[in-house]
Chains A and B, each alone.
Chain A
Amino acid sequence: MRKSCAQRGQGASRHMQASIRRTRNPTPGHTAKRRTRPYTAQRRQPLSPQSAAQLSQAFPSFRPGQAPGALRFAASYAILVRIVSKPRSVTWGYLRQAGLESAGLLGLGLVLGLVLGVVRGIPEPSAQAQADGMCTAPVPQSESVSWISQPEARPLIEDPNVAFVDARQGLDYEAGHIAGALHAPAYVGSVDPELVRLLRTARSVVVYGDRELECKRSRSLAKALSRQGLADVRVLEQGFPGWMEQNGPAEAGPCNLCPTPSVSQTESRP
């Protein structure tokens, strides 16, 4: 077993022997020095190149020259990832307790809500809000889109100051559309300026599509036309299927009145 210089007592320099004597028999005026400085100095040594390389690989933002701050950041990041990905403090018991507490709180809320409902009464939503289906119960919450029902739209087909615009795909338009309707596929991205110029001559514009995806397209087109400055743009409830169910006038074929006649040949799906 290796002995220290102090234990051996021999072989040490005169200076060290004096230091050992002072430590063992401290005399007044001479206090033993604490051997903490060398360790502190060692702790503050810069990172070894291997450690710096490993840290740089694990954390790209790490720079060896900024060891304290970067280390701190890297440690925080690693710990956050560790907590989120593999939390050590979360066990099944912990989750069960949380579930019980959660059930208690939600139950308390339910009881308080029931008491409040009994005292103040339970509100009854309007019939419009309860209607079913897609695009059949439009709730006019959007600031730029207003709706028009099928019975309201039907007589407008005779009015030359009202323009109907089809927002569906070109093939669907050619297969059948409202009589005299223009075609402006909404998914192209921008509205044709020539078409907008044409629509400015109309007092009102009625945009329609299908019931599902096309419903969104017709609303998008209506918003786009409103942004172009057209005053009265409405979306037809239930779209073209609803129009056909009402036996509205319809026709097939390409759009002859459109500024770009062969719409179905020039458009491309997104």
Chain B
Amino acid sequence: MNTASLWPSPRVGTALALALRYGVAGVLLFAALPKILEPGPFAESIANYQLISGKLAGLAAVLVPMMEFVLALGLITGVALRGAALGSLGLLFVFTVAIAQALIRDINIDCGCFGSAAESEVGWQSLVRNALLMGACMLVLLLPRQGTEP
């Protein structure tokens, strides 16, 4: 059974799915590009979370932004859309766990979420923002594919 037929107007589902896709993709791109251009500050931010060693933090600072970038491209183009939504969900879950443990351990650090583009201290706002983004990813995953398929 196609869920699109359940909507009072199929345009509602289409518009919602497209808006969520591009919204999440925009946030991922905004987060990824500064970190790709300047991996140094992001490596510092990862090390500040005190979860992994310095060398691993440097490696993660190179790998994670590129993963965000590829996932954002997947969401925008619709190529492997479901995978992009699921991958974004997983990545955001990892970020959320890292932020939550920093809050619990009371580590006063910069979030590093958007690299050097925007500085923000780790806090409940970061958790709420990640939760909203994860909800959007879930809806993209659950809603029928629209926009890129006939």
Contact = CB atoms under 8 A, between A and B. Distances in A.
B26 interface: no
Interface in A218-263: 219
Interface residues on A, range: 35 or more
A207 interface: no
Contacts, number: 164
Given A106-B67, A113-B66, A99 B121 contact: no
A110 B66 contact: yes
Interface in A122-156: 122-127, 129-132, 134-135, 137-139, 141-142, 145
A163 to B, nearest CB: 22
Given A84-B142, A139-B108, A105 B74 contact: yes
Contacts of A99: 83, 86
A141 B87 contact: no
Contact of A101 (B36, B54, B62, B82): B82
A100 B70 contact: no
B141 A219 contact: no
A194 interface: no
A113 B3 contact: no
Contacts of A123: 39-40, 42-43, 58, 61-62
Contact of A76 (B12, B83, B90, B109): B12
A125 B106 contact: no
Contacts of A82: 6
Contacts of B70: 105-106, 108-109, 112
Interface stretch (A22-30, A31-39, A87-95, A169-177): A87-95
Nearest to A115: B66
Nearest to A215: B106
A84 B63 contact: no
Nearest to B7: A79
A104 interface: yes
Interface in B43-60: 43-44, 46-48, 50, 53-55, 57-59
A256 B134 CA distance: 53
Interface string B1-34: 1110011100010000000000000000000000
A116 B64 CA distance: 12
Contacts of A90: 141-142
28 contacts: A88-B1, A89-B144, A90-B141, A97-B82, A101-B80, A101-B84, A104-B80, A106-B90, A109-B66, A113-B62, A114-B63, A117-B59, A122-B59, A123-B42, A123-B62, A124-B43, A124-B54, A125-B46, A125-B47, A126-B44, A129-B57, A130-B54, A131-B50, A132-B50, A141-B119, A142-B121, A213-B106, A216-B106
Q: Which 3 A-B pairs have the closest CB atoms?
A: A101-B83, A109-B67, A113-B66
